[in-house]
Structure 1
């Protein structure tokens, strides 16, 4: 059998909270039955930390700063690898984009999560992101022709 290059998609999602501890969640047209963290596909050659900033701003109008990675998840059926970030709210007001049905900050915890998030993989990601205590480092590099560090996240989960 001939070797075939794997075709995976990489996506990002982000836990963004406001000063009241509410979580930024949204519903999309193609998954309007559930709320979820903002995010989407990483573009070719795009660093993951830049992708989550772009996706959150494109979908909601909110500017964020990624703090660290809270989990990595694989959808085997669709061959999608999702990297979830915790991010700090920087600025902006929610402005709904065309692919979004609704976006808002919601007070959510383990007691009411099922009222909003109907899909188990989305609940798992959000709870993991909310409860993450580990420090996961992330670096993005450009290698052409020399090695250039583009960004490094120290993974400071205490900096919510």
Structure 2
């Protein structure tokens, strides 16, 4: 057994339009459920840039991350998932990724989430993100120490 960690880091985002509807996607691999758009972080890529890239690749929507609402670990797959809440800056849904079967804004609430989100780990992430509580997020370079990005907790739309 190797001592080198083999975790995958993934990001996703809860994005709502002006009407308060939530952007969700269905993938071909998980077509029985809706989920937040997102995907795997590339090597050396900051998390906030990864979530912007993934959302744009999957849906055509341009976002601005507002903050991290949760960090989750899938022990079966060794996946660390970081969930952002994000502001819809511009763009209409244009499904651009071959992994995505469908993408749309859905009038989603705690009362109807079970109609759309069939996997409990996706449901808990969405419900946490809907609450809009954030933790700090920073990107640093060292040698010399330079703060490149900081998203403050409590930043709101």
1:148 equivalent to 2:143? Answer: no
Q: Match for residue 12 of structure 1? A: 11
Structure 2 match to 1:111: 111
Greater CA drift, 2-11 or 57-66: 2-11
Give the equivalent residue in structure 2 for 1:30.
29
RMSD, aligned CA: 1.3
| Offset, 1:3 | 6.3
| Counterparts of 1:27 and 1:142, CA distance in 2 | 36
Q: Report the alpha carbon displacement of residue 147 of structure 1 after superposing the two structures with TM.
A: 2.0
Match of 1:126 in 2: 126
Report the 3-state secondary structure (helix = DSSP H, G, I; strand = E; otherwise coil) of the residue aligned with 2:135: coil
**For 1:72 and 1:107, how far apart are their aligned partners in 2?**
25
TM-score normalized with structure 2 length: 0.95
Deviation of 1:155 (Å): 2.4
Aligned length: 156
Q: What is the alpha-carbon distance in structure 2 between the residues aligned to residue 111 and residue 3 of structure 1?
A: 45
Deviations 1:24-56 (A, max 9, x none): 000011111100000000000000011100000
For the residue of structure 2 that corresponds to 1:66, the secondary structure is strand
> What residue number does 1:101 align with?
101
CA distance in 1, matches of 2:57, 2:33: 19
1:65 and 2:64 correspond = yes
Q: Deviations over 1:48-70 (max 9, x none)?
A: 01110000000000000000000
Cα deviation, residue 5, structure 1? 1.2
Question: Per the alignment, do residues 3 and 93 of structure 1 end up closer, same or farther by CA in structure 2, a change over 3 Å counting?
Answer: closer
Any stretches of 5+ residues in structure 2 without a counterpart? Answer: none
| SS state at 1:55 partner | helix
TM-score (norm 1): 0.93
